[in-house]
Structure 1
Amino acid sequence: MTAQLIDGKAVATDIHAEVRAAAAEFKAKHGFEDGLAT
């Protein structure tokens, strides 16, 4: 097996886009944004 380089910035960008889409879907479905309460 050979080593494989991973582009961390590209992976982070993909994950960020997925989370953003999921958050938008949640807001559209439930009418509010999720968040942390303290």
Structure 2
Amino acid sequence: MTSSTTYADARTATLNAARDLYGADSAEHRAVGAAWRAVGVN
């Protein structure tokens, strides 16, 4: 990420990282998605 990274870009990057590390159906991936939804970034 860079100084011009948007919240949407950060959401995508962290979701991709969680998917790559733990799998798309993992609790970790779901938790990252839930955290972004909780702060209004969809």
Q: TM (normalized to structure 2)?
A: 0.45
Q: TM (normalized to structure 1)?
A: 0.49
Structure whose residues are more often helix by fraction: 2
| Structure number, greater radius of gyration | 1
Say which structure, 1 or 2, has more relative contact order (CA 8 Å, 6+ apart).
2
